[in-house]
Structure 1
Amino acid sequence: MADNLEELYEKYNILSDAKDKVSQHSKEYLECIEGTKGNDKEKKLAAQIISKFFKHFPSLQDQALNAILDLCEDDDSMIRISAMKVLPLLCKDAKEHVPRVADILAQLLQLEDQDYNTACNSLIQVFKEDSTNTTKAIFSHVHSTDDNSAREKCIQFLYKKLIKTQDKLNSEVEDLLLEEGKKDYTGL
């Protein structure tokens, strides 16, 4: 098992040393994505490598994102937390992933304790990248779930975490919040 971890470090070094030619090393990046199927240490390292080089491999972004999302469902809380922490980094240079990442993080608001706090913090970071699409994704989750507790957690997050932490929301987000706020959320 230590061999696989060492191999991941070697792949990281190859990618890191490649500098502006990093995109020529898709084979190594793909092997790092596969590292998310290893042991706990390999999963954490693979998640970090994926996030660091994500922008350099547009053709592998969906596969890389899926690997990170799988880690968000891991049985080990520390793996889930590591995966949630890298999700906002994936959105920095690839805003097209914001709706999907925000939706997943909205679902993860169901977790407890440190997992919940990490999901909140990551969702706030994604919100800072693209507030409108993040808000839309959260409301999309609210509308698509039959779980009252899930809806309540999402709405609480929007109104308690986001609105209170933001000095000024853009007008599109304000309008969206007002429009959605007028809807009847019975059962909450």
Structure 2
Amino acid sequence: MSEHQSEEFQQIEKLYDFSERLNASKDKSQNVEDYEGIIKMSKTSMKAKQLASQLIPRYFKFFPTLSTDAFDAHIDCIDDGELGVRVQAIRGLPLFCKDSPDIISKIVDVLVQLLNTEEPVERDAVHKALMSLIRQDPKASLTALFTHAGVTPTTDDQIREKVLNFIRDKVFPIKAELLKPQEEMERHITDLIKQSLEDVTGGEFKMFMDFLTSLSIFGGKAAQERMQELVEIIEGQADLNAQFDVSDTDHIDRFISCLPLALPFYARGAPTSRFLNYLNNHIIPVFDKLPEERKLDLLKALADISPYTTAQEARQMLPSIVQLLKKYMPAKKTAEEMNFTYVECLLYAFHHL
């Protein structure tokens, strides 16, 4: 046995001694020296670090005065150059929270930063640790996780993308298991999602909306107010409070992509007024100035929403529709070529209003 192996063996022996005394002790808080010894051993050889990474969280709750030293030592193991040490330390993170739920947010923050790892084994350990925390305390863990799903001035886009992928691939598919009590937790995750929608991409927004519509609180028996809530989320994404700028193609695209998402909720009784008012007051008056490739999409959107209008909304919209029909369905004697697709959309809307 080499000198290094002999030293490592002695370190492991010491760690087992510390652990055995702690296990046997009826008042573990008195075994301060043993816990200090474990912390000290976490800074030695690779195998000692791996074992210490199991023992530090196991006895963490008994030594509040050493909590900072213990946690810092564990984080040092997570930052270690050896993959085996890092993985073992990551696996130990959820154990800190079993008896100290107040630090769940802190542990989630640590794990989120580790999602960026390129090592598959390490990434798998991070995923499992996060899922372990979410199962321990879904409300606190998801709250902490979703703080990294939104866009802030300090957001790391790469980390945020990893968080969103984790939520999509690991959390959403097992919502029935995690969201208990169901109504309370579905309400909670809905609120978390609503807080995370600032500056999301179209794909991210659709992912969140697909998930929300899968929740029982927005299911087939949901009240009309629930449908209205979903429509308001979509209206927020469409930015209906903004002044319309005909050159802002991003805003036009968001309007066009958001409207179809709202149609199922209009069919279930949610009011269409805000989308229609915006279309009627801001977009149709400058229709001629819109990019050609957006005009048809907007007319299709108008046709899609027209069956769900109220009588009052229809009266407000009809003059605008008639004006567009006059423009795109000229009198027979003119030489202008009729745009049949535009006219088809406008006639469809006209007959449904």
> Same fold judged by TM-score > 0.5?
yes
Return the letter of the residue paired with 2:76: D
Q: 1:49 to 1:146 in 2, by over 3 A?
A: same
CA shift digits 1:56-87 (9 cap, x unpaired):
22222232222212211111111111001111
Q: Which amino acid aligns with 1:134?
A: S
Give the alignment partner of residue 94 of structure 1, picking from 85, 91, 100. Answer: 100
Aligned residue in 1 for 2:194: 179
177-186 vs 35-44, which moves further: 177-186
Q: 1:99 to 1:78 in 2, by over 3 A?
A: same
Per the TM alignment, residue 163 of structure 1 is displaced from its structure 2 partner at its CA by 1.7
Q: TM-score, normalised by structure 2?
A: 0.49
Change (3 A) 1:182 1:74: same
% identity of equivalent residues: 29
Match 1:8 to one of 15, 37, 49 = 15
- Where does residue 125 of structure 1 map in the other structure? 132
Q: Which runs of 5+ in 1 are unaligned?
A: none
Following TM superposition, by how much is the alpha carbon of 1:8 offset from its aligned partner in structure 2, in angstroms? Answer: 1.5
Residue type at the aligned position of 2:111: L
SS in 2 for 1:74: coil
What is the aligned partner in structure 2 of residue 46 from structure 1? 52
Q: Counterpart amino acid of 1:157?
A: F
Inter-partner Cα distance in structure 2 for 1:70 and 1:138? 22
How far is the alpha carbon of 1:161 from its aligned partner? 0.8
1:155 corresponding residue in structure 2 = 164
More helix by share: 1
Gaps of 5+ in 2: 1-6, 180-184, 205-353
Could you tell me which residue of structure 2 aligns to residue 83 of structure 1?
89
Q: Is 2:76 the partner of 1:70?
A: yes
Q: Return the letter of the residue paired with 1:57.
A: F
Q: Which amino acid in structure 1 is aligned with residue 190 of structure 2?
A: D
Larger-Rg structure: 2
Shift in Å at residue 133 of structure 1?
Answer: 2.5
Match of 1:32 in 2: 38
What per-residue deviation string (whole Å, max 9, x for no partner) do you get for residues 113-169 of structure 1? 111111011001111222233223223344465432211001111222112123152
Q: Distance in 2 between matches of 1:118 and 1:173?
A: 27
**Distance in 1, Cα, partners of 2:187 & 2:33:** 41
Which has the bigger relative contact order, CA under 8 A and spacing at least 6?
1
Question: What is the CA RMSD across the aligned residues, in angstroms?
Answer: 2.1
Kindly state the Cα deviation for residue 181 of structure 1 after the two structures are TM-superposed.
4.2
CA distance in 1 between partners of 2:53 and 2:28 (Å): 17
Q: Counterpart of 2:147?
A: 140
The change in CA–CA distance for 1:164 and 1:45 in structure 2 (over 3 A counts) is same
